[in-house]
A and B are shown apart, each in its own frame.
Chain A
């Protein structure tokens, strides 16, 4: 029977991870950087679910449990990051990450 197979899922996850990494490295807006982090986490979580489907023994869902924890941690990280970002915005009046450089002086 034809099947897309594990490798196709790994390729999609690798693409999401690479795009997220590019976003994190080159974006200047802190909120866009946060979007890139979410892309990276989604790529990793997709890997866990795909491996769970294709190589876990029947009845074991450890990969999906890991993905649940990744989703929870992503939510926590987004909440804290946005709270910090609002503080930075009230101090420097900007959300561009290369303008929050007052520690250099």
Chain B
């Protein structure tokens, strides 16, 4: 009974993620695209939790939904001063059909590759909290990438602030 519940949760999350992803592809309004992306990313966070990656699931919620999605909504807000742009976004249903076709063909190729490999089906051990092990790994085996990415984040912070700043006239200087 317990196991059946796990499988039901997996299929619910997978269906939510894939259907929302498809709506990202076919929705017309860019605001709706952002909100379908929210639904899809939430489902992926649920899948992380389902895989026993508790820290990653919460990081996904915090960074993607709390950070990136809000950033995207701000981007939409600041660049859509003309409502006509929303209508212009897709010229025809032909480009939508192209997108659906490309996705379908790509997925079929990937699915046939996945099906052709006999994956090892090791029954995973029951999930344990991962936060402590992640912290230990980040400060021992992965300390160099960890430090590099902190420098990268600093550079991105300065770069984004520099790129997005308002240009001022320098005549008085």
A residues at B contact (CB < 8 Å)? 1-12, 14-23, 25-29, 31-32, 34-36, 38-39, 42, 45-46, 49-50, 52-55, 58-59, 61-62, 64-65, 67-69, 71-76, 78-80, 82-87, 89, 94-96
Contacts and interface: CB of A to CB of B under 8 A. Distances in A.
B173 interface: no
A35 B123 contact: no
Main secondary structure of the interface of A (DSSP, over half): helix
Interface of B: 3-4, 6-7, 10-11, 14, 17-18, 21-22, 24-25, 30, 33-34, 37, 40-41, 44, 47-48, 51-53, 55-56, 59-60, 63-64, 67-68, 71-72, 74-76, 78-80, 85, 88-91, 95-96, 98-100, 102-104, 106-107, 110-111, 114-115, 119-125, 130, 133-134, 137-138, 142, 145, 149, 152-153, 156-157, 159-161, 163-164
B40 A83 contact: no
Contacts, number: 237
A23 B99 contact: yes
A95 B85 contact: yes
A18 B124 contact: no
A45 B102 CA distance: 21
A61 B137 contact: yes
28 contacts: A4-B11, A5-B119, A6-B120, A7-B119, A10-B119, A15-B17, A16-B18, A17-B106, A20-B24, A21-B106, A22-B25, A23-B25, A34-B75, A35-B33, A36-B24, A46-B47, A53-B53, A55-B120, A58-B125, A59-B133, A65-B137, A67-B48, A71-B63, A71-B64, A72-B153, A75-B67, A86-B78, A96-B85
B123 A1 contact: yes
